[in-house]
Chains A and B, each alone.
Chain A
Amino acid sequence: MRNIVPILLFGFFATMSAALMGFGAYWDTFEHAEPQPIAFPHDTHAGKLGLECTHCHTSVEKSRFATVPAMSICMSCHENAQIDSPELDKLKEYWTNKEPVPWVRIHSMADHVYFSHKRHIKAGVECATCHGDMTVVKEVKKVRTFSMGFCVGCHRANNAPQECSTCHK
């Protein structure tokens, strides 16, 4: 009987450690975004150069989707600008091969949520409210969980519609 207690203790802690490692593995497999195919520096474009978000995300004011910029937008500057960067070499390779850049999607809404960028921009919500200050980061990372609490909290604070059907159409 006495010898069984240390084994039980070990079993308990091993199970708990496995649970933690399971959390880690789940995060690594499903939540942790892969690195982007091209290390696009948001801070250089939106920060140092001072480009507006709409400069590249052209649909954000007109459509539900902000859209990833078309490669032609990148190339309209980069055909000539900064030609010796290895990251731009990658971009040019995609461009020459007429292949889309396989960007890794960071932000996505659940399927049962209707979300319109256009409406939020019209209401005066800053891009940074949901996406963080892109003028200061190199890499895009989620800074909001986009949970219902986050959406509803902001709607409540700003007197925006709070009916279920506003988002769950």
Chain B
Amino acid sequence: MEFLQLNLSAPKASDVEIARYVVILLSLLVVPYLSILFGTTLLSLGLSWRGKTEEDAKFTRLSHDMADRLIGGFGVSSIMVLLPILTMGISFSQILYNTDSNIFQYFFLTFLIAIPALILTNMYKKSFETRDANPTGHYLLGLLALGGLKTTIWGFVSSVTIITFPEKWPLIQSLIPLTFDWNVVIRFLHFIVASLAITGAALLFFFFRWDDGLEDMDEGYRKYVRNFGGGVALGFAILQTLFYVWSIGTVPEFAKSMSLYGVGVGGMFVLFLTTFLLYKLLSEGNTSLVTPIFVLMLGFVLMSLVDDGVARDNALKYQHYALDQFNEKREAEVAAARAEQSGGAVLTGPEYGKTVYETYCIACHDFNNKLIGPSYMSVLPKYEGKLDELTEYIKNPVRVNPEEYPAPMMNTGWSDNDAKAAAEYLLDEYNKRK
């Protein structure tokens, strides 16, 4: 699995900034589309079964119409699900560069699971043509598609959730244990409930508005579709509120901020408006409300994705700093390598030591006066003729006089060459001045 630990080049702060928005936009494609696919498959399969057992034509018809109207072809699904999942994996592995999060692996596995799931869903859609001739095949395909979509959603939710929990990165190293983390389970259930609410709203929109609505709907069927879509959307929108509050309330302490709760309350308001319009639609039978309902439902999805983004950014603040630091270091290394390549010989000797002294030591030490550290004239006598010992001390300083100097000299992490050059200069200068 090592090849899945994608570690691309270290991104700069500006790249991360772009990636943060990219992942929200991509999830705005995946989340509603996957929700509608799952919700439609589940509801149409249920209706199809009910139509068969109760021998009522409206159930049978609605199950077929839903699959026809709401399940896109494999091409559309690839653009809405497969490509975004893979791109999100790459974007997140950029954001989480140089961490032990394994993030690309999770997205890649989800991508692999999504391929058969989408193919099966498409086959299920086509199986309506042969439903009467081969009912077992139809129901079997429906169940398989449902299982595939459920697994895809679980993988997707796991991959996104783990990012907000950095402390779990080193402890969870593969997708299967990750899916059983209770934070993931709660968010997975949230996704399922939300997907039914979105599907209900999508059903209303695609049956009554999109492309001038579905043709050949008689009054009884229209009423049934309206009540079914509206009822599902309303019921699950109310139920998902509980999960929504739960998932915001359980983000880790370091991912919390006032904007997390602010956006959360904003989302709640959008959801309230949605349910209010759904109630109006159901009580007054006013189907002109389907567009605002669908748009508001998508608006709520956007707000919860933004809220997820806020929690993620809070949790990853350290990672942003670490990337800056990493880049600074890398630039310095590149500059040093270039200088060496262009023929700069390694500098040595007391003359170079003077430059080292003037760059670093001078901040705390003077030859005659005590500054932050002691004067050289007071401490160097014990190092007379002991160049190696002084070099060693510069490299590994220890507390010598804790009464007067509670903190030891800082360990600069110098190279042997720099430490030796500085020691040579200090002893030379001491000998001249004593």
Q: Which residues of A are at the interface with B, using a C-beta cutoff of 8 A?
A: 2, 5-6, 9-10, 12-13, 16-17, 19-21, 23-24, 27-28, 31-32, 43, 47, 49-52, 55-56, 58, 70, 72-73, 76-77, 79-81, 132-133, 135-137, 141-145, 150, 153-154, 157
Contacts and interface: CB of A to CB of B under 8 A. Distances in A.
B264 to A, nearest CB: 5
Q: What is the interface of chain A mostly: helix, strand, loop, or mixed?
A: helix
A50 B283 contact: no
9 contacts: A9-B272, A13-B271, A16-B244, A24-B262, A31-B253, A55-B408, A81-B363, A135-B325, A136-B322
B279 A9 contact: yes
Given A142-B254, A145-B253, A43 B408 contact: no
A132 B318 contact: yes
A19 B245 contact: yes
B248 A23 contact: yes
B258 A6 contact: no
Interface in B231-262: 238, 241-242, 244-245, 248-249, 252-254, 256, 258, 260-262
Contacts of A17: 265, 268-269
B331 interface: no
A50 B413 contact: yes
A72 to B, nearest CB: 5
B317 interface: yes
A65 to B, nearest CB: 17
B97 to A, nearest CB: 14
Interface stretch (B80-88, B165-173, B188-196, B204-212): B165-173
Given A2-B283, A12-B241, A51 B411 contact: yes
**Pairs of residues from A and B, 3 with the lowest C-beta to C-beta distance, nearest first:** A24-B261, A13-B272, A136-B321
B363 to A, nearest CB: 7
Contacts, number: 124
A55 B410 CA distance: 7
B256 A27 contact: yes
Contacts of B406: 58, 70, 72-73, 76
B333 interface: no
- Residue from the set B260, B262, B279, B406 with the largest chain A CB neighbour count within 10 Å: B406
A134 to B, nearest CB: 10
B78 to A, nearest CB: 37
B318 A143 contact: yes
A6 B279 contact: yes
A77 B407 contact: yes
B410 A49 contact: yes
B372 A80 contact: yes
B241 A80 contact: no
B317 A141 contact: yes
Contact of B283 (A5, A80, A133, A157): A5
Interface string B400-421: 0000011110111100000000
Interface string B366-390: 0000011000000000000000000
